[in-house]
């Protein structure tokens, strides 16, 4: 008995999805180690066990592959549950949880650190995507800071958005330092401390 066309299509979709996921995972490793410009499409395809034309069939070009890697990174590192209301304690718990999980995936952290440093160049293909990522994080953190300031007195000359930017920059800087000096800093604890000060929870 032969498989039906629908079954064959289903197998094809599953195989195609698995191939794409493998390519993205290998691309993440390559971008983390060599940066966007240092990693080649052919070498990524080779590591994924596919021809470079197969890679281009799935992603079109290197920039599209990079954006897929960034999306994958954020899905891997996203809090399991994001609060539906602005709640400083829940937000703190969620992001500290991410910091703890990042400790177990240094490759992902190194990827984002490498790309963030490269994206300082105005023409870097990841620049817009990373700016949008920062805007999303600021959009989560700043409202919680604003709400806390309405509840308690917090001595801070920065706006909630600016303070959220400092929180994000501090976290990213801690991760870069920790990658260069493994084990010297308790990054999750310091991330928690940074959030607590921003929220006035000390």
Separation of alpha carbons 182 and 110, rounded Å:
12
What's the fold here for domain 78-199? Tetracycline Repressor; domain 2 (1.10.357)
Residue 65 · residue 59 · CB < 8 Å: yes
For the cut 80, the answer to whether the pLDDT of residue 86 exceeds it is no
Instruction: Give the pLDDT band of residue 7 (cuts 50, 70, 90).
Output: very low
Query: In terms of pLDDT, which residue wins out, 159 or 74?
Result: 159
Q: Which fold has domain 5-61?
A: Arc Repressor Mutant, subunit A (1.10.10)
Cβ-based burial of 98 (10 A; exposed 0-12, middle 13-18, buried ≥19)? middle
- pLDDT exceeds 90 at position 125: no
Q: pLDDT tens digit string along 15-67?
A: 667 889 999 989 988 887 888 888 899 999 999 999 989 999 999 998 889 88
**Residues 153-169 as b or e (16 or more Cβ within 10 Å = b):** ebeeeeebeebbbebbe
- 5-61 and 78-199: same fold? no
Domain ranges of the chain: 5-61, 78-199
Q: How far apart are CA 183 and CA 172, in angstroms?
A: 16
Residue positions counted in the chain:
202
125 and 83 Cβ atoms separated by less than 8 Å: no
**pLDDT one-digit tens code per residue, 169-201:** 999 999 889 888 989 999 999 999 999 999 999
């Amino acid at each position: 008995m032969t498989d039906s066309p629908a079954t064959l299509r289903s197998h094809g979709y599953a195989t195609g999805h698995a191939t794409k996921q493998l390519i993205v995972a290998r691309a993440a490793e390559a971008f983390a180690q060599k940066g966007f410009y240092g990693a080649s499409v052919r070498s990524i395809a080779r590591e994924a066990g596919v021809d470079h034309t197969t890679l281009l069939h799935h992603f079109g070009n290197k920039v599209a592959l990079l954006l897929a890697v960034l999306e994958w990174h954020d899905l891997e590192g996203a809090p399991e549950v994001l609060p539906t209301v602005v709640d400083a304690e829940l937000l703190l718990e969620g992001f500290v949880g991410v910091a703890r999980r990042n400790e177990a995936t240094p490759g992902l952290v190194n990827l984002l650190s490498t790309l963030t440093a490269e994206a300082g160049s105005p023409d870097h293909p990841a620049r817009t995507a990373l700016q949008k990522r920062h805007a999303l994080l600021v959009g989560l953190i700043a409202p919680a800071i604003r709400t806390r300031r309405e509840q308690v007195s917090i001595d801070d000359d920065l706006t909630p958005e600016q303070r959220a930017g400092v929180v994000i920059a501090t976290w990213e800087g801690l991760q870069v330092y920790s990658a260069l000096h493994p084990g010297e800093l308790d990054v999750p604890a310091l991330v928690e401390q940074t959030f607590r000060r921003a929220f006035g929870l000390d």
